[in-house]
Amino acid sequence: MILYSKHKQAGLTLLELLISMTVGVMLITGIIQLMANNKQNYLFQRELARMQENGRYALTVLRQDIQMAGIAGCSASSQVNNLLDTSAAGYSDTLYNLGQAVGGWEYTGSGTETAPGNAFVLSSSVSSVLSKWKDASSADLDSTLQNKVVKGTDVLVVKSTEPAIDFISTVPVTFPINATSFSISTHIEPGKIVVISSCSSADLFRNCAPLPPSPLPSPPPPVKRISCVGTPDNNIVNLSYPYELLKGNEDATIAPVSINSYYVGIGQNNAPTLYRKDYSEGAPLNAVPLVEGVESMQVLYGIDTSGNSVPNQYVTAAALGANADNVVSVRISLILRSLEEVEEVVNNDSLIAAETTLNSVSDRYLRKAVSTTIQLRNRGI
């Protein structure tokens, strides 16, 4: 005989309910903690990967430009005659002297604050005081970079020539040394700094041709070196050589000059950013942001003082002095910073960049130092 209870389950006791709620809360808390940890780990790995990729890209861009520095056609850049007006306002050897293939400005602050062996606290603000930076001739930072460059960071300038452009001529011709106009096959923008060269000599000047009509005529307007508008102007002196075409010798060519400055500024959302500014037309073009998250750039220049194309020592831009024409390699160190604070605890990073110790403020940003040494193909061996 089977007996059935007259009383069926009607609910939960208070104790059972409390136990169920406790277990449920523990499970939910565990799941939330797991999700939070996964998110934190994802953010950390994402920022780390972004920093690594940004560092790789930044060094690649700098390497490609620096390796080609100093190229001036068939002539060595150290043999290029500078026909720009070096006494004019706005002229700077650091920016326009092709003989100084690479150079720049070292942040010296009130003395030698970021020199090798010293320590400096990373900054997140720009400075309006141009005298805090010095170049090889102890000149202050160019005024076009005022309020652009983050304190404590260096400015790098790289100069070379672009692919050569042929002259227009169907018969042999010799350009007299007092020539001021040159017919070319491809248009060169007015204001562009150019080099006319052969294997015997080379001269640098600014294209003073006026703005051409639209549409562009064929053949394009000639390159001129008189009646310039803006700076730097040309010195109206003779060319160093009577350049020749179609005479059985090395034909002369003319090539635009590339002048790029690299510096760390403040970008979108106040993120430290590596910028490039183009000075190849005299007055600089708008700066182009290249890489976000570059917090500092420190540069040392390898100088050859023995004439064997091998660097004897590495110095700052401010310490180059008379060796500004003897740079054969460049050592660049970048401090990369995450765009978001992803460290679990507040910390103070201490990183070495170009033999300078850079200390961070207390925050939760992730940081990494990357560096490379780049040989100038036109100078080194």
Asked if residue 3 is part of any domain, the answer here is no
Residues of the chain with pLDDT under 50: none
Contact (Cβ atoms closer than 8 angstroms) between residue 312 and residue 319:
no
What's the confidence (pLDDT) of residue 78?
A: 64
Whether the bond into 220 is cis, omega within 30 of 0: no
Asked if residue 59 is part of any domain, the answer here is yes
Mapping DSSP to helix (H, G, I), strand (E, B) and coil, where does residue 127 land? coil
What's the confidence (pLDDT) of residue 312?
A: 92
Give counts: helices (H), strands (E), the chain. Answer: 2, 22
Whole-angstrom Cα distance, residue 194 to residue 219? 19
Asked if residue 166 is part of any domain, the answer here is yes
Q: Residue 61 belongs to what H/E stretch? A: helix 14-67
Which among 77, 72, 134, 131 is positioned nearest to 103, based on CA atoms? 134
What's the confidence (pLDDT) of residue 39?
A: 67
Asked if residue 334 is part of any domain, the answer here is yes
Whole-angstrom Cα distance, residue 122 to residue 12? 63
Which among 257, 234, 61, 263 is positioned nearest to 142, based on CA atoms? 263
Instruction: Give the CA count within 13 Å in the CB-facing half-sphere of 59.
Output: 20
Q: How many CB atoms lie within 10 A of CB 64?
A: 11
Mapping DSSP to helix (H, G, I), strand (E, B) and coil, where does residue 200 land? coil
Range of the domain at 313: 17-381
Radius of gyration of the chain (CA): 30
Asked if residue 56 is part of any domain, the answer here is yes
Contact (Cβ atoms closer than 8 angstroms) between residue 279 and residue 96:
yes
Its pTM surpasses 0.85: yes
Asked if residue 191 is part of any domain, the answer here is yes
Contact (Cβ atoms closer than 8 angstroms) between residue 37 and residue 322:
no
What's the confidence (pLDDT) of residue 249?
A: 66
Number of domains making up the chain: 1
What's the confidence (pLDDT) of residue 8?
A: 59
- Please state the separation of Cα 145 from the chain's center in Å: 13
Q: How many CB atoms lie within 10 A of CB 291?
A: 23
Q: How many CB atoms lie within 10 A of CB 56?
A: 12
Joined tokens for residue 108: 């010296």
Region class of 28: left (phi > 0), else alpha (psi between -120 and 50), else beta: alpha
What's the confidence (pLDDT) of residue 253?
A: 85
Joined tokens for residue 86: 């070096």
Whole-angstrom Cα distance, residue 262 to residue 35? 42
Asked if residue 6 is part of any domain, the answer here is no
In angstroms, how far apart are the furthest CA atoms of the chain? 130
DSSP state letters, 12-52 = --HHHHHHHHHHHHHHHHHHHHHHHHHHHHHHHHHHHHHHH
Cα first-last separation, the chain: 106
pLDDT per residue as tens digits for the range 168-209: 777 788 889 999 998 887 888 888 999 998 888 899 999 998
What's the confidence (pLDDT) of residue 221?
A: 85
Q: Which are the contacts of 261, defined by CB distance < 8 A and separation ≥ 6?
A: 95, 104, 145, 155, 156, 157, 158, 276, 277, 279, 284
Asked if residue 365 is part of any domain, the answer here is yes
Contact (Cβ atoms closer than 8 angstroms) between residue 77 and residue 127:
no
Q: Which are the contacts of 356, defined by CB distance < 8 A and separation ≥ 6?
A: 114, 115, 116, 117, 118, 119, 120, 298
